[in-house]
Structures are given as C-alpha cells and as structure tokens.
Amino acid sequence: MKTALVTGGAGFIGSHVVDMLLNEKYNVVVLDDLSTGFKENIYNKDVIFIEGDIRNKELVERTFSVHSPHYVFHLAAQISVSRSVREPAFDAETNISGTLNLLEAAAKYNCSKFIFTSSGGVMYGESPSVFPTSEECESCPSSPYGISKFAGEKYLNFFNQEFGLNYTALRYSNVYGPRQNPHGEAGVVAIFLQKMIRNESVTINGDGKYIRDYVYVEDVAKANILSVENGKNSVYNIGTGLGTDVNELFSELKKITGYDKEAEYGPSRPGDLRKSILNSSKARDELHWNPNYKLSDGLIQTYDFFSSKLGM
C-alpha cells in the first residue's frame, strides 16, 4: 500500500484530498499546524496526524525519514492575497521556504511524485490577453502570494531537472465547498453563507464586480488524485471556464438561503484582481479531469453543510 503525505491536510481542500486518498486505499500522513485547518476535519482513525509547521526543517526531515511517503500533496500555504501584500516576508517564509523544505526532503527520500497546489486566480496578472485564460498565457503575478506560488513552480522544475523529482502543479481557480473556513479574508462563499444563515449583514468588498471562476472542492480533490498517474512535470489550470461576479454570487446565495437583506458595500481589498477565469482544457486532455459540479449545485451542497454545522 502506497503512502501519501498531505501538507495542510486538516484544512479545507486538503481534508477532501485526504478523504479521496483513503477511498483509494492509500496510507495517509497529514502534516498541518492547524493555523487555518481543524483537527475535526481528520476524522478517520487510520490517518497519521502530525501537528507542525512546514517551515520547521527538522520536523519535515523527520516526517519523511519515519514515514517514507511515495507521494506528496503539498497544500499547506499562506493563502491570503491581502495578507501577502501586508506581510510579504511572512508569505515567502511559508510559501517559498516551507515548500523548499518539502522539496529537499522529497528528493532526498526518493518520492515518486510531488503534487503542488499553485494558483490560477493570481498567476496571470490583472489583464491577461484572453479569457478564459490558458497556461500558455504569460505568468505575471502581481501580489507576493502569486509571486511565491510562481516561485514554487519554478523550484519544482529545478528539482525535476536536478534530482529527477516528478511533479504536477495545479493552478486552482476560486475553490469553494464544505469545510471552507468562513473566518478571515479567504472564502467569500463560506463568509456569505455563515452570515446569511445567521441573518447577519453581508458586506461586499468594492463594487461587487470582481469576476471569479468558482470550482467545487470535490472537483479539485479529484484533480489531485488524477495527478498521481497523469500530468508528468507540467502545470495545469483547474477551473470551470465560467465567470461569476460577487454581486451575482450574492444573488444566487440569497435564493438558496432565503436571505432577505440587501448587501452592504465596503472598501475593496488590496491585491484583488478584477477578473479571473481559467481555461482547463489542458487538464481535460492530459489529466482526464473535468469539473462535475455546476455552481448552483455546489452552492446547495455548501449551504447544506454550513446550515447543519451551525444547527440552523
């Protein structure tokens, strides 16, 4: 039985990857510092859970030495664009130095493959030449978060060329779904739903005309699983190819939840792009991946999760 190490496996996306790996009969080791994840997301007793930070080089080394993972699914990250703007050094410590700790250990212990979570939402800059945007478009991230993710991709290529470490890098669009953390700055769907279920005021940042490609978390987890066998040493967009602005998202969630208040509008967030929609035809052709969930269906699933969790 093969062993998979999932960094950030107690988090939103990582815990769904863990679930699918268990369904595929992998031994699963999770490394997570619980800064944004929750231990309750790892409910299967067969999962080996290690609480710790990927910036801790000695801990990373010990994890690889003891468990000898065949595959690494690297989802642990500093995920806030606006925090990266405020604290670029912190972003780099986690997203660059932490990733390097894992890559060095993966190469040393002869891992079969390294599956890396990148970002399609920030990778192509403010004004890519075409929408939906493909991997052939120039990568020109403008935020420290995007720069650190791009650096991670470049290091993957270096470790492949220098040490023969195989990889797949997945550039996600805006991921939503059950277990998303509704606190802080990330995850507009989770933030809106929690406030709507509690009948609290909802604030939209800026004018609400920020367009995003929303992809359901189970579809994203599936892309990770498919990357074990497919997508050797390449980068793939993972999105739906459809754009929805925040005002439209708010209206759709109002219908689902029965929320009867109008949105309030606040200042825009630093670092936010106006528009991001991904072309995922390369993932379709080479990973054999397609999104299965329409936005309306995924939002209903997410609403059911949060309403149950909040006891409403």
The catalytic site residues sit at 145
Integer Cα distance of 131 and 254 in angstroms: 28
- In three-state secondary structure terms, 107 is helix
Contact 220/238 with Cβ under 8 angstroms?
Answer: yes
Integer Cα distance of 188 and 269 in angstroms: 12
Peptide bond into 132 cis (omega under 30): yes
Strands 244-245 and 211-212 turn out to be antiparallel
Contact 152/116 with Cβ under 8 angstroms?
Answer: yes
Helix axes 246-257, 295-309, angle to 10 degrees: 60
Q: Which residues contact 236 (CB under 8 A, 6 or more apart)?
A: 135, 168, 169, 170, 171, 223, 227, 280, 282, 283, 286, 287, 289
Which token pair is 185?
């700055």
Q: Which residues contact 137 (CB under 8 A, 6 or more apart)?
A: 124, 128, 129, 130
Characterize 43-82 residue by residue with b for buried, 16 or more Cβ atoms within 10 angstroms of its Cβ, and e for exposed. eeeebebbebbbbebebbeebbeebebbbbbbbbbbbbbb
Integer Cα distance of 204 and 196 in angstroms: 13
